[in-house]
Amino acid sequence: MEFVVGIGEVKIANSGILKTIGLGSCVAIAIYETKLKVAGLAHAMLPKSNGLKSAKFVDSAVEIMLDSILSMGGKKRNMVAKIAGGAQIFKHLTLDNLRIGDRNVEAVRTELKNRGIRIISEDVGGTLGRTVYLYTSDGRVLVRYSNGEELWI
Protein backbone atom coordinates (compact mmCIF):
# COMPACT_ATOMS: atom_id res chain seq x y z
CA MET A 1 0.00 0.00 0.00
CA GLU A 2 1.23 3.47 -0.89
CA PHE A 3 0.60 6.51 1.34
CA VAL A 4 1.00 9.92 -0.31
CA VAL A 5 2.56 12.67 1.79
CA GLY A 6 1.37 16.02 0.51
CA ILE A 7 3.17 19.35 0.61
CA GLY A 8 3.45 20.48 4.22
CA GLU A 9 2.46 17.07 5.60
CA VAL A 10 3.99 14.34 7.75
CA LYS A 11 2.92 10.70 7.67
CA ILE A 12 4.04 7.80 9.85
CA ALA A 13 3.60 4.15 8.86
CA ASN A 14 4.78 0.68 9.82
CA SER A 15 3.81 -0.96 6.52
CA GLY A 16 3.74 -0.05 2.87
CA ILE A 17 5.45 2.81 1.08
CA LEU A 18 5.41 6.50 1.97
CA LYS A 19 5.64 8.70 -1.14
CA THR A 20 5.96 12.42 -1.74
CA ILE A 21 5.92 14.06 -5.15
CA GLY A 22 6.81 17.45 -6.54
CA LEU A 23 9.92 18.24 -4.52
CA GLY A 24 11.64 21.30 -5.90
CA SER A 25 13.14 23.57 -3.27
CA CYS A 26 11.14 21.61 -0.69
CA VAL A 27 12.87 18.87 1.23
CA ALA A 28 11.78 15.33 2.02
CA ILE A 29 12.82 14.18 5.48
CA ALA A 30 12.71 10.43 6.05
CA ILE A 31 13.19 9.08 9.56
CA TYR A 32 13.35 5.32 10.12
CA GLU A 33 13.26 3.51 13.45
CA THR A 34 15.29 0.40 12.70
CA LYS A 35 14.03 -1.85 15.52
CA LEU A 36 10.30 -1.10 15.28
CA LYS A 37 10.43 -0.72 11.48
CA VAL A 38 8.42 2.49 11.72
CA ALA A 39 8.96 5.19 9.13
CA GLY A 40 8.11 8.86 8.96
CA LEU A 41 8.19 11.08 5.89
CA ALA A 42 7.75 14.85 5.74
CA HIS A 43 7.50 17.24 2.78
CA ALA A 44 8.66 20.56 4.24
CA MET A 45 8.56 23.85 2.33
CA LEU A 46 10.41 26.34 4.51
CA PRO A 47 13.22 26.18 7.10
CA LYS A 48 11.85 27.84 10.26
CA SER A 49 8.39 27.83 11.82
CA ASN A 50 8.92 30.76 14.23
CA GLY A 51 6.73 29.00 16.78
CA LEU A 52 4.03 27.64 14.47
CA LYS A 53 3.64 23.88 14.76
CA SER A 54 3.17 22.92 11.13
CA ALA A 55 4.82 20.32 8.93
CA LYS A 56 5.25 23.05 6.32
CA PHE A 57 8.41 23.97 8.21
CA VAL A 58 11.53 21.83 8.61
CA ASP A 59 11.95 22.36 12.35
CA SER A 60 8.38 21.50 13.32
CA ALA A 61 8.11 18.66 10.74
CA VAL A 62 11.07 16.95 12.43
CA GLU A 63 9.51 17.53 15.85
CA ILE A 64 6.15 16.11 14.75
CA MET A 65 7.79 13.00 13.26
CA LEU A 66 9.99 12.35 16.28
CA ASP A 67 7.11 12.81 18.72
CA SER A 68 4.96 10.39 16.72
CA ILE A 69 7.64 7.71 16.47
CA LEU A 70 8.57 8.07 20.15
CA SER A 71 4.90 7.77 21.14
CA MET A 72 4.82 4.41 19.31
CA GLY A 73 7.67 3.14 21.47
CA GLY A 74 10.55 4.19 19.22
CA LYS A 75 13.95 5.14 20.55
CA LYS A 76 16.14 7.94 19.18
CA ARG A 77 19.19 5.67 19.32
CA ASN A 78 17.48 3.41 16.74
CA MET A 79 16.55 6.23 14.37
CA VAL A 80 18.33 7.20 11.18
CA ALA A 81 17.46 9.82 8.60
CA LYS A 82 17.70 10.30 4.87
CA ILE A 83 16.99 13.57 3.11
CA ALA A 84 16.29 14.58 -0.49
CA GLY A 85 15.31 17.73 -2.34
CA GLY A 86 16.36 21.31 -1.84
CA ALA A 87 16.84 21.96 -5.55
CA GLN A 88 17.32 25.33 -7.16
CA ILE A 89 14.67 24.88 -9.86
CA PHE A 90 14.80 28.49 -11.06
CA LYS A 91 18.49 28.88 -11.93
CA HIS A 92 18.23 32.62 -12.56
CA LEU A 93 17.29 33.35 -8.92
CA THR A 94 20.62 33.87 -7.21
CA LEU A 95 19.87 36.15 -4.27
CA ASP A 96 20.66 34.34 -1.02
CA ASN A 97 17.20 34.95 0.45
CA LEU A 98 15.64 33.28 -2.59
CA ARG A 99 17.79 30.12 -2.32
CA ILE A 100 15.09 28.33 -0.33
CA GLY A 101 16.39 24.87 -1.28
CA ASP A 102 19.81 25.48 0.23
CA ARG A 103 18.26 27.01 3.35
CA ASN A 104 15.90 24.03 3.73
CA VAL A 105 18.76 21.52 3.48
CA GLU A 106 20.84 23.41 6.04
CA ALA A 107 17.84 23.61 8.39
CA VAL A 108 17.27 19.83 8.14
CA ARG A 109 20.92 19.07 8.84
CA THR A 110 20.95 21.40 11.86
CA GLU A 111 17.62 20.20 13.26
CA LEU A 112 18.50 16.50 13.01
CA LYS A 113 21.96 17.05 14.47
CA ASN A 114 20.52 19.02 17.39
CA ARG A 115 18.07 16.20 18.08
CA GLY A 116 20.69 13.45 17.88
CA ILE A 117 19.42 11.84 14.65
CA ARG A 118 22.13 10.78 12.21
CA ILE A 119 21.71 11.42 8.48
CA ILE A 120 22.97 8.27 6.76
CA SER A 121 22.24 9.27 3.17
CA GLU A 122 21.13 12.27 1.17
CA ASP A 123 20.44 13.52 -2.32
CA VAL A 124 20.13 17.29 -2.21
CA GLY A 125 20.60 20.34 -4.39
CA GLY A 126 20.82 20.36 -8.14
CA THR A 127 18.18 21.70 -10.48
CA LEU A 128 15.78 18.77 -10.96
CA GLY A 129 12.50 18.05 -9.22
CA ARG A 130 12.14 14.77 -7.32
CA THR A 131 9.67 12.19 -6.11
CA VAL A 132 10.67 10.21 -3.02
CA TYR A 133 9.58 6.72 -1.96
CA LEU A 134 10.31 5.46 1.58
CA TYR A 135 9.94 1.70 2.11
CA THR A 136 8.79 0.95 5.65
CA SER A 137 10.02 -2.66 5.52
CA ASP A 138 13.68 -1.66 5.61
CA GLY A 139 14.07 2.13 5.35
CA ARG A 140 15.25 2.15 1.73
CA VAL A 141 14.62 5.41 -0.14
CA LEU A 142 14.18 5.69 -3.89
CA VAL A 143 14.55 9.12 -5.48
CA ARG A 144 13.00 9.52 -8.93
CA TYR A 145 14.03 12.68 -10.79
CA SER A 146 11.80 14.74 -13.06
CA ASN A 147 13.93 13.57 -16.02
CA GLY A 148 13.08 9.91 -15.27
CA GLU A 149 16.39 8.89 -13.70
CA GLU A 150 16.39 7.08 -10.36
CA LEU A 151 18.76 6.87 -7.39
CA TRP A 152 18.62 4.70 -4.26
CA ILE A 153 19.84 6.49 -1.16
Which three-class secondary structure string do you get for 64-106? Answer: HHHHHHHHCCCCHHHEEEEEEECCCCCCCCCCHHHCHHHHHHH
List, for residues 28-39, the tens digit of each pLDDT value: 999 999 999 999
Residue 96's Cβ-side half-sphere holds a number of Cα atoms within 13 Å equal to 0
Q: Which CATH number fits domain 2-152: 3.10.580.10, 3.40.630.20, 3.30.230.10, 3.30.1330.200?
A: 3.30.1330.200
In this predicted structure, the answer to whether residue 92 has a pLDDT above a threshold of 70 is no
What pLDDT score was predicted for residue 65? 98
Residue 76, CB-side half-sphere exposure with 13 Å CA sphere: 11
Q: Rounded mean pLDDT of the chain?
A: 95
Q: What is the pLDDT of residues 49-81, one digit of tens each?
A: 988 899 999 999 999 999 999 999 999 999 999
Whether 51 is catalytic is no
Please tell me which residue in 5, 26, 58, 141 is annotated as part of the active site.
Answer: 26
108: pLDDT strictly greater than 90: yes
